[in-house]
Chains A and B, each alone.
Chain A
Amino acid sequence: MTRLAYYPGCTLETTAREYDVSARIASREIGLELVELEGWTCCGASSGHATQYELSLALPARNLRLAVEQGFSALVAPCAMCYARMRHTVHDLRDPALRARVNALLDAPWEGDVQVHSLVDLFSQEENLALLREKRQRDLSGLRLVAYYGCLLVRPPEVLSPDDPEYPTMLDRILQAAGATLVDWPLKTECCGGSISLSRTDIALELTRKLLEGAIRRGANGLVTACPMCHANLDMRQGQINRRYGTDFHLPIFYFTQIVGLATGHGVKELLLDRHLTDPRPLLAEAGIRS
């Protein structure tokens, strides 16, 4: 088993609880041992880097220090925002002068190296895809899914090293390995407006609407994401979008780990699929998944 520090991030405890639960379940299936980092605190998300640069590095750096202190050399952050902030921190603090300045903001300096992974990049590694294919227990072909990456898994490419910032396929391959029917679409990396979801909801609704429309236009009956903010916009705001635009969207939004969980035989309730605001259960039932 590969042992990694697990950094859930704030939303995985609350609005994105489904992601946390399904991530732990799915990771066990492919042999990843996730050990929650003790005493972890917020990474600063968008508000950190949007307002104060050193703060935006110090908050993640504290957690990286905890990882080192607790004996980990690798850390995985399921939330795309936390993942991006951690990667930016590792990247920018290669500059020794900056690192010294940021370390001075902490109680104790962060020394040592930590490899920061996203769950997507771990699951899309060839060995893990093979494992997933082996462990398939359900037929998910009735799910026609688009893979939605959003911004924070792929940009900027120098920091996040995606397989391709314009046309990534990591998530696509995971869905294929899980046995779902993959639907190609051109909006894989278009922004949903996550970081202005509260402050400019009107804009976020427009951007999210375009994504929902785009997915349906391609014949998808579900959308898969790896980011709690994207999930929040796409899942929770469908009602608001329908009211504002007179549309009739009911497109279930899945975390990819829930798809992996379903594929490997776990239950609808177990994966908290009943917690979504846009109920995926009718679709799942149609696809032959009732429990």
Chain B
Amino acid sequence: MEVGTLKLNLKERPFAGQIRRRIQVDVRDCYQCGRCTAGCPVAGWMDAAPHQILRGIQLEQRDWVLSRNTYWICASCVTCSTRCPCQVDIARVMDALREIALAEGIRPSEKTVKAFHQAFLQWVRLTGRMYEVGLIGLYNLTSGQFLASADLALPMLGHRKVQLLPRRFSGREEVNRIFERVAALEEKG
């Protein structure tokens, strides 16, 4: 949010409208009881609590909302949506915010989360299934966490929990085409 007094004009509500069109959630249903935040296991690490994100959408604070780390840290445990007395699907709102941020190229405040998801999907696209060693390798590189999980590497190897080499699975061509078609969908907007 910019400094100084918040100048509010809520005649037009494009952000709330975007959320409603995308995921059929009407943020007006939320009466800010905070129960979502109360039950969120990771809210203590967020710079804006889940209910505050909802409030931000209600008050059209788009830039502020999208620059929070809330929806990146969200662990998708769905406790919020399960307990919300107004039946607002807050977990889905977090998904939608991530989609919007990625589509608009907004720099995430949690670089590692974006890097993880992209690395994961990259290997799925390439081989048809997830490839852990590759995931960790690609993730470490792109997130700048070069030694992440390094301390686990030896024990995992020792316990034969690792598939060292990538494998390619039948069906990967269709998976690749699915990714392409999804990308084309996004282009169309």
- Contact in complex: B79, A191 (CB < 8 Å): yes
- Interface residue? B128 (CB, 8 A): yes
CB contacts under 8 Å to A, within B97-128, are 98-99, 102, 110, 112-113, 115-118, 120-121, 124, 128
Pairwise interchain contact B102-A51, C-beta atoms closer than 8 A: yes
* Chain B interface size range: 35 or more
A231 → chain B closest CB, angstroms: 11
Do A239 and B129 touch across chains, with their CB atoms under 8 A apart?
A: no
- Asked if A21 is an interface residue, CB under 8 A from chain B, the answer is no
Q: Say if the beta carbon of B77 comes within 8 Å of chain A.
A: yes
Q: Which of B15-52 contact A (CB under 8 A)?
A: 23, 41-42, 45
**Are A151 and B178 in touch, CB under 8 angstroms?**
no
In angstroms, Cα B181 to Cα A62, docked, is 14
Hey, what's the 0/1 contact readout for B156-189 against A, CB within 8 Å counting as 1?
Answer: 1001111100000111101101110110011000
Enumerate 6 A-B pairs (CB-CB under 8 Å) in ascending A order. A15-B162, A44-B124, A50-B98, A51-B102, A66-B171, A196-B73
Which residues of the partner chain A approach B45 to less than 8 Å between Cβ atoms?
Answer: 200, 203
Taking CB atoms, residues of chain B closer than 8 Å to A181 are none
Contact with B along A36-73 (1 / 0, CB 8 A): 00011110111111111111001100100010000000
Contact among B42, B77, B82, B117 with A50 in the assembled complex (CB-CB below 8 Å): B117
Interface residues on A, range: 35 or more
**B10 interface contact, C-beta 8 A:** no
Q: A58-B182, A200-B112 are in contact. Are A48 and B121 (CB under 8 A)?
A: yes
Are A191 and B112 in touch, CB under 8 angstroms?
no
The listed residue (A40, A52, A107) touching B177 by CB distance below 8 A is A107
Q: B58 to chain A: which residues have CB within 8 Å?
A: none
**With A and B bound together, what is the CA distance between A46 and B110 in angstroms?**
16
Is B148 an interface position by the 8 A CB rule?
yes
Contact of A40 with B120 at beta-carbon distance under 8 Å, contacts A156-B82, A275-B161 already known: no
Contact A14 B117 (CB under 8 A): no
With A and B bound together, what is the CA distance between A75 and B92 in angstroms? 26
List residues of chain A with CB within 8 A of the CB of B77.
Answer: 151, 155, 191
